[in-house]
Amino acid sequence: MPEQITSTQNARVKLTRTLQTKARARRGERKMVLEGYRLIADALKANKRPLFAFYSESNAETDLINQLRAAGTELLPASDEVIRYISDTETPSGIIGVFTIPRPEWPENLARVLILDAIREPGNMGTILRTAAAAGVELVIAAPDCVDIYNPKVVRSGMGAHFRVPLVNADWQEIAQFCQNVPVYLATGDADASYTAIDWTQPWALIVGNEAHGVSEIARDIASTPVSIPMAAETESLNAATATAVILFEAARQRSIK
């Protein structure tokens, strides 16, 4: 068993801390951090194993550590102080893994694509990614001005979605080129067409924007059809994650009865 890491100046410790706090480091290193039994176990089920993982003494003989050991992961016992230092949570679970960020290709002939425009709140972003995975979306594109999709709070809220649906960052020029041959719907509160009137059994891309500021002008230019969710009681708008779930599961419903 390797010697317990007790210094916050350890190179792996410093890297993990930086990955937790700096989006630029995550992009440059193409690495992300997962904390806790559930997220790391989900990654293993998706055939993704950490490059290395820290664990506290209380987790030394857990099933997850044994699974990681069997998978060939480099395991690093660490003091509680070190675990707290590299954790992004108030009450660390005691198991923290560093993973390579998936690098999906831009697949061709996609039928279900979700494009996110300036979604900035990490909890919303994570919930949207989790919803997209559950509703059968084939690709999620994060446009400029979105929160980093590998932000620790996004990863926790996504509950394993990062390994279940391909995720890419792209600028609007790339997005416009990608969407040339597919109808692009725009979720907005001022559209005449209801989301239930759309034939979601055909290929589509859906743009969802920030509920506070709406969708950008460039998103409106790319979209071919605005759609809205009819609401009662003079409600102005839904939370972006809620609106996304409503539309995506209507699309899933239509596919299920086709």
Per-residue confidence of the chain (258 residues) as pLDDT tens digits?
A: 689 999 999 999 999 999 999 999 999 999 999 999 999 999 999 999 999 999 999 998 899 999 999 999 999 999 999 999 999 999 999 999 999 998 877 777 789 999 999 999 999 999 999 999 999 999 999 999 999 999 999 999 999 999 999 999 999 999 999 888 899 999 987 788 999 999 999 999 999 998 677 788 999 999 999 999 887 766 666 789 999 999 999 999 999 987
Q: In what order do the strands lie in the sheet with 184-187?
A: 167-169, 139-142, 112-117, 204-209, 184-187, 225-228, 193-194
Contact 185, 206 (CB under 8 A): yes
DSSP letter at 169? E
Contact 237, 188 (CB under 8 A): no
Q: Identity (one letter) of the amino acid at 13?
A: V
pLDDT at 103: 83
Each residue of 15-43: pLDDT tens digit?
999 999 999 999 999 999 999 999 999 99
Axis crossing angle, helix 240-257 with helix 122-134, rounded to the nearest 10: 0
CA gap 26, 108 in Å, rounded: 27
For domain 11-100, give the fold. Answer: 60s Ribosomal Protein L30; Chain: A; (3.30.1330)
For domain 112-257, give the fold. Answer: Alpha/beta knot (3.40.1280)
Q: Where are the domains of the chain?
A: 11-100, 112-257
Contact 166, 140 (CB under 8 A): yes
Q: In what order do the strands lie in the sheet with 31-35?
A: 31-35, 95-100, 52-55, 74-77
Tokens matching residue 99: 């993973």
- Element containing residue 31 per DSSP (H, E): strand 31-35
Q: Identity (one letter) of the amino acid at 109?
A: N
The rounded radius of gyration (Å) of the Cα atoms in the chain is 20
CA gap 113, 24 in Å, rounded: 26
Closest CA to 46 of 60, 29, 34, 30: 34
Please state the φ and ψ torsions of residue 209, each to the nearest 5 degrees. -115, 180
Residue 209: how many other CB atoms lie within 10 Å: 23
SS3 letters across 204-215: EEEEEEECCCEC
Tokens matching residue 242: 């809620």
